[in-house]
Amino acid sequence: MIASPVLILGARSDIGKALARGYAAQGCEVILAARNDIAADATDLALRTGVQARAVLFDVTDGEPDRFFEGLGAIPGTVVMVAGLLGDQAESAAVDAAAQQVMDSNYNGPARYLLAAARRMAGVPGGCIIGISSVAGERGRASNFVYGSAKAGFTAFLSGLRNAHARAGLHVMTVKPGFVRTQMTAGLKLPPAVTAEPGQVADAIIRAHRARRDVIYTLGRWRPIMAIIRAIPESVFKKLSL
């Protein structure tokens, strides 16, 4: 069962748009939340699918999650946290403000918004919180350790939130997409065998939501890959160019 309305936090992203289309196709009311006005997207979605859809302004780094939910006008049945920022590792290592933006966008902000959501969703039948984390959070790599460390914190946060609310019936799911072909990764050389399209990610999330899965890799081949990476001894791992 998918509890409606579905609130998508970060709905302007490619994955957010794909999720909006996917949940609307399931007959769910959808609330699109983004930093910029996407009322036209909500209108288009409603016209194409016949479901109720609306847009609200949202910035994951604004620091006022309770005010956001108080102004929402409805308690969501499902909340999906898509917001995030890849950033640039070299800039994050060199400039404190850049590092703070990456950390706030991928851990501090998402965690605080989902805490605020959980406070309101207790007792919602079929209630579900979904957080999109990353395989980058499974082990620190020199090429993206600021982003990866924030996602590692977010993964741990989702695990704790799941444990804290399991007995009350609020389900929490962690999603680790791996490489996804989006605007955020434009310009990066992505290996085709382990790179998903936004629609594939959205389909995997909705299937897992229905099955009430706890943790998913949206492409299953990432599971053995990450098992191997986690098993490499630190003395060897620190010498690798990853």
Residue 1, domain member (yes or no): no
Q: Is the pLDDT of residue 100 over 80?
A: yes
Residue 219 lies in a domain: yes
Q: Give the CA distances from residue 224 to residues 50, 194, 218, 227, 230, in Å, rounded to whole numbers and listed in that order.
A: 41, 12, 13, 5, 10
Domain assignment of residue 221, yes or no: yes
Residue 242 domain flag: no
Q: How far is CA 200 from CA 28, 48, 218, 224, in A?
A: 19, 20, 8, 19
Could you tell me the CATH number of the domain that includes residue 38? 3.40.50.720
pLDDT score of 165: 96
pLDDT at 180: 87
Per-residue confidence at 23, pLDDT binned at 50, 70, 90? very high
The answer on pLDDT for 187 being more than 80 is no
Residue 224 belongs to what domain range? Answer: 6-237
Please say if the pLDDT value at position 193 is more than 90: no
147 is catalytic: yes
Q: DSSP string spanning 88-112? A: -HHHHHH-HHHHHHHHIIIIIHHHH
Q: What is the pLDDT of residue 174?
A: 98
| Residue 109, domain member (yes or no) | yes
> Total structural domains in the chain?
1
213 pLDDT above the threshold of 80 = yes
Three-class secondary structure assignment of 138-207:
HCCCCCCHHHHHHHHHHHHHHHHHHHHHHHHCCEEEEEECCEECCHHHCCCCCCHHHEECHHHHHHHHHH
pLDDT, tens digit, 9 for 90 and up, residues 121-163: 988 999 999 999 999 999 999 999 999 999 999 999 999 999 9
| 187 lies in some domain | yes
Both structure tokens of 160: 């704790």
216 confidence band (pLDDT: 50, 70, 90): very high
Q: Return the pLDDT at 178.
A: 85
Does the pLDDT of residue 233 top 90, yes or no? yes
Domain assignment present for 102: yes
Mean predicted confidence (pLDDT) in 224-228: 92
pLDDT band at residue 105 using 50, 70 and 90 as cut-offs: very high
Give the model's pLDDT for residue 17: 96
From 23, 107, 113, 147, active-site residue:
147
